[in-house]
Amino acid sequence: MAVLCLHQQGIETVWIKPTVRLSNRLEWPESISWQGLERLADFIDLETFINDHGFPENVQSSCWGSNQLLSRSKQRMSRQSNDTQLVNKAALIEILSRKAESTSCELIRGRVEQIERQNNIWQLHINHQAVRSVDVLILAHGNGQSSRFSIPAKATTTDILQCHHWILSKNNTEAAHSNTGSLVEACPEGWWYAASLGLNKISITSFQHPTTITADHGQAEYLRNRLNSTIHLKSWIQESQWRHFQRPRIFRLHCQCREQFSGGGFDAASPFWFSVGDAAATLDPLSSFGSTNGIWSASKAAESIGSILNNLNSNASKNYNNAMHRLHHTTLLQRQQMYDLEQRFKQHPFWMYRTAASTT
């Protein structure tokens, strides 16, 4: 996204593109606000993208704070700025990447091994051999790399969640009677997010306190036992007859937030840098729209860089840093409020830890 926004301003860009893991190409439902999607309208045809890669979501439901299921109907392609659209995140990343590769940017495939400041520029050591000099640096990949680089931007860990992601499916005959939608449901061990991927598949993800991962976690029996602690998700799966089971993707989500999101420009030997997306913060998915924040931060960082290079605003980096601090302060506050709403399981370790962590 940052490459596209910089190219739009006529700024020469070097893009170091790391190798994408196969797991990052898996189908993953992501809610993105229409306010965020509209920022992509200059680069992709939104209607075509949503027709091809959007997931129908007729009903959004939640069971949080009580056993009652709260639901609201949702219109497809509702372009209200505060509404959301469920899309295939992997497809969106792939389309934006291809679009960025088609620009005049200098594309280097590989890994940045070292970043150094030399006078008023950044020296990037790539793939153990190539060295490239740039005036402004954007960190856009992951959130732990700058600790080994010469960038004064420590990240603070706010939480660690263990995530189990399953895809369940059924045949086309059974799919004819399916309902599409999404569900967030709290349970004693944590919480679940489920979203239908069309009529014949559903994505379900559990978020819990980190535990030792064993071979049993990949078995269908483990999933059945976990689902028994839910009320509405269990019923939805039973009624819709999703039977076919794929082995889960199990990973740990390290929720982190930088102490500083941009910097530089203080003197002649201090080049500018910006962090965007997950490189700026990886937050609890309960209270944030990761892709929405990533789109916004990339476009604002590119806008700030344009102001700096064109001598339009000497405070652009400072303003970006302040705006990011406000955004993530609000997100962390919303996270605390969401966890505090759930009082049914307050004696269970997962909820005790999150309530305590949010108030310390």
Per-residue pLDDT, averaged over 22-31, amounts to 72
CATH code of domain 2-55+88-154+256-340: 3.50.50.60
- Of residues 221, 223, 225, 193, the one with CA closest to residue 207: 193
- Contact, 180 vs 194, CB < 8 A? no
- Contact, 16 vs 2, CB < 8 A? no
Residue 287: what pLDDT?
A: 77
- Of residues 199, 194, 201, 208, the one with CA closest to residue 251: 208
Residue 147: what pLDDT?
A: 44
In the chain the first and final C-alpha atoms are separated, in Å, by: 35
Task: In whole angstroms, give the CA distance from residue 58 to residue 50.
Answer: 14
Q: How confident is the model at residue 271 (pLDDT cuts 50, 70, 90)?
A: confident
**Residue 56 above 90 pLDDT?**
no
pLDDT of 4-18, one tens digit each? Answer: 999 999 999 999 988
Number of CB atoms found within 10 A of residue 324's CB = 25
Residue 12: what pLDDT?
A: 92
Per-residue pLDDT, averaged over 76-87, amounts to 71
Residues in the chain: 360
- Contact, 137 vs 122, CB < 8 A? yes
Per-residue pLDDT, averaged over 232-256, amounts to 90
Give the three-class secondary structure for 270: coil
Percent of the chain with pLDDT over 90: 52
Residue with tokens 């990447």: 97
Residue 3: what pLDDT?
A: 94
Identity of the residue numbered 106: E
The DSSP call for residue 104 is S
| Between 48 and 288, the higher pLDDT residue | 48
**Residue 76 above 70 pLDDT?**
no
Residue 140: what pLDDT?
A: 87
| Between 92 and 25, the higher pLDDT residue | 92
The DSSP call for residue 148 is G
Residue 116: what pLDDT?
A: 85
**Residue 178 above 80 pLDDT?**
no
**Residue 211 above 50 pLDDT?**
yes
Task: In whole angstroms, give the CA distance from residue 167 to residue 334.
Answer: 29
Task: In whole angstroms, give the CA distance from residue 196 to residue 57.
Answer: 8
Q: Which of 66-80, 141-155, 160-174, 204-218 has the lowest mean pLDDT?
A: 141-155
pTM of the model: 0.88
Phi then psi for residue 233, to 5 deg, are: -65, -45
**Residue 303 above 90 pLDDT?**
yes
Q: Max Cα separation, the chain?
A: 67
- Of residues 331, 320, 330, the one with CA closest to residue 260: 320
- In this structure, what token pair is assigned to residue 26? 């898996």
**Residue 176 above 60 pLDDT?**
no
**Residue 59 above 70 pLDDT?**
yes
pLDDT of 338-351, one tens digit each? Answer: 999 999 999 999 99
